[in-house]
Amino acid sequence: MTRYLFAFILVFVLTACQQVTVEEPEFAPLKLTELRVGTLYGPQIYMTSGQGNSGFDYDLAVSFAEYLNVPLTMVPYTNRADLFAALKNNEIDIIAAGITDTPARREQFRIGPPLYRVNQVLVYREGMPTPKNVNDLKSKITVIADSSFVETLTQLQKHYPTLVWDQVTDKDSEELLAMIANKEIDYTIADSSSVQINRRYLPDLRSGLVLEEKLDVVWLLPPDNSDGLMSRLLAFWHQEKLTGTLDHLNEKYFGHVKRFDYIDTRAFLRAIETVLPRYRQMFETHAGNLDWRKLAATSYQESHWNPSARSPTGVRGMMMLTEPTAKEIGIHNRLDAEQSIRGGAAYLSDMINRLPDSIPESQRMWFALASYNIGYAHVEDARKLAESMELNPNAWRDLKKVLPLLQKRKYYQKTRYGYARGSEAVHYVDSIRRYYDTLVWVDNQSQQQTTDEDSGELPTEDISTLPPGSLSPDAPK
C-alpha cells in the first residue's frame, strides 16, 4: 500500500512539474498591434499623479501588454454604460476596471479569471445608527447606475418589498462616498476595498451590512471573436499566480489600509525634538533658495523623517521619490537620507521654476507642492478650470477650491489630463503649511530662549504645552 501511495505522489508531482515548465500552450490566432484597455478612474483601478500612473488594474495591464509584446493604451471612461458599450463596439479590447463577476455580466461578456475578491457593503456615516438589517434603513440607498449594486438591490427587494433606491448616472463611486461623509446622502453600497482605501481620506465612512460576500473582481472581454485573447489571458493569469505577482499587487494596493497617519501637534513637536536634529543640517545645506523649514515640513508629510520609508506605490526615502524622478535628478540611493533630501530639494525647485511667472513668489511653493503630489499637468488643469469659473488661477486660496473638482466627473471629463485626487492635494499642501508654521514657531522659540539665556533670563514656558501659531497671514485654519 505504501508503494502505491508513493508512486501516486511521484506521478502527481511530476505531472505538476510538467504543467509548470510547459514552454508555450497552443493559442488561437491573435492579431493585435496594441492592447486597448478600457477602464474607470479610481485609486485601486487607474489614476495618474505626480508619482506616475498607478492602480491594481493599471499595473496588471502593463504586465499583460508586455506578455503580449504589444504597447498598452489605457482608455479611461467616465461611466460604466459608455465603458460597456465601447467593448461591445470593439473600440477597446478588454475592460480592466475593478468590475465584479455577476450573472448579468456573464450574459453580455466573456469573464476573465478572478483577480481578487471583495464584499459588497452598505456604507453610512459615523454618528448614524448602525443598521442591523435592511429594515433598519431610514432613507433611500443611492447607487451608481449600471453597477452590480443595482443587481444586488433588485434581488434584496424580493425579500424586502419596501426597499427603495436611487440610481445616479453623473457620479462616481468615490463621489458617492464623499457625499456620505458630507451628509448629502445617507446610504450607498460600495466594494469593501474601495471603502478601505477611501476611509484614509474620508475617516467618517463606516461599513455596515455585508450584502454580498466574496465576489470575484475580473476583467471583461468581448462576447465574440475573443478566443485568442482569452486563451492568452488565462495563460498570463496562470503565470502571474505561479510567480506571486497577483499576491504582490494585492498587498501593494489593499494590504496597507493606512497609508497616511494623522499626526497631532504633540507628536510633531516630539519629532522635532527627537528626530529632526539628525537631519536639520542636511535640510539647511541642500535647501538652496528654498526655506529649509518648508523642505523639512514636506519631508515630514512624506515620510515622517524616516529615511527607510517605503510606499506601496513604489516611492522611497525621506522625500518619497519615484525611481524615474531619482534617476532624472541624479540620485542613486533613495534610501540614503542626504541623497533623498538633495533630490527632493532639486525636484521642488524645478517645480517652482516651471510655474508661470504670473503666480506670486509668496505662493509658488504651494503650487509646486500640489504638483509634487498630483503632478504638474493636473495643477495646470485646475488653473484653467479656475479661470473658466472666474476665479484667480494664480491664487492658492482659489485653486484649493477648484482642485477637489478634479475628482468629479462633471469637471474632469472636460480637462486635458482627466481625473486626479485634488482634495488629497489640498490636504497635502495645507498639512505641510501647518508643519511649516510649527517649525517657524519652534525656531522662534528656540532663538528667544537663546537670547534669554544670553541675557540671564530663564524660559517660562515649555513648547510642548503650547499650540503652534498660524504665522502666515493666509495660513490654513
Q: Which three cell numbers stand for residue 171?
A: 457620479
Eight-state DSSP code of residue 92: S
Q: Are 210 and 132 in contact (CB under 8 A)?
A: no
Q: What is the pLDDT of residue 7?
A: 40
Tell the CATH topology of 117-217: D-Maltodextrin-Binding Protein; domain 2 (3.40.190)
**What does the alpha-carbon distance between residue 318 and residue 402 come to, in Å, rounded to a whole number?**
29
pTM above 0.85, yes or no: no
How many H helices and E strands in the chain?
Answer: 19, 11
Q: Are 282 and 337 in contact (CB under 8 A)?
A: yes
Q: Are 409 and 403 in contact (CB under 8 A)?
A: no
Instruction: Look up cell 459608455; give the residue.
Output: 82
**What does the alpha-carbon distance between residue 81 and residue 147 come to, in Å, rounded to a whole number?**
9
Residue tagged active-site, from 174, 212, 240, 302: 302
Which of 3.40.50.40, 1.10.530.10, 1.10.443.10, 3.40.50.300 would CATH assign to domain 265-435?
A: 1.10.530.10
Instruction: Indicate the CATH number for domain 29-111+224-254.
Output: 3.40.190.10
**What does the alpha-carbon distance between residue 446 and residue 443 come to, in Å, rounded to a whole number?**
5
Burial class of residue 334 in the structure, from the number of CB atoms within 10 Å of its CB (0-12 exposed, 13-18 middle, 19+ buried) = buried
**What does the alpha-carbon distance between residue 424 and residue 408 come to, in Å, rounded to a whole number?**
13
Q: Which three cell numbers stand for residue 180?
A: 456620505
Q: Is 302 a catalytic residue?
A: yes
CA atoms within 13 A on the CB side of 365: 17
pLDDT along the chain (477 residues), means of 10: 40 40 56 94 83 87 96 94 94 96 94 95 92 89 93 92 91 91 94 83 84 95 93 95 84 55 60 94 95 95 92 87 90 94 94 93 91 94 96 90 94 93 90 83 70 57 40 35
Q: What is the pLDDT of residue 311?
A: 83
Could you tell me where in the chain the CATH 3.40.190.10 domains are found? 29-111+224-254, 117-217
Could you tell me where in the chain the CATH 1.10.530.10 domains are found? 265-435
**What does the alpha-carbon distance between residue 92 and residue 99 come to, in Å, rounded to a whole number?**
16
Provide the terminal-to-terminal Cα distance of the chain, rounded to the nearest Å: 78
List the Cα angle 365/409/374 in 5-degree steps.
25
Please, where are the H alpha helices in 182-255? 192-198, 227-243, 245-254
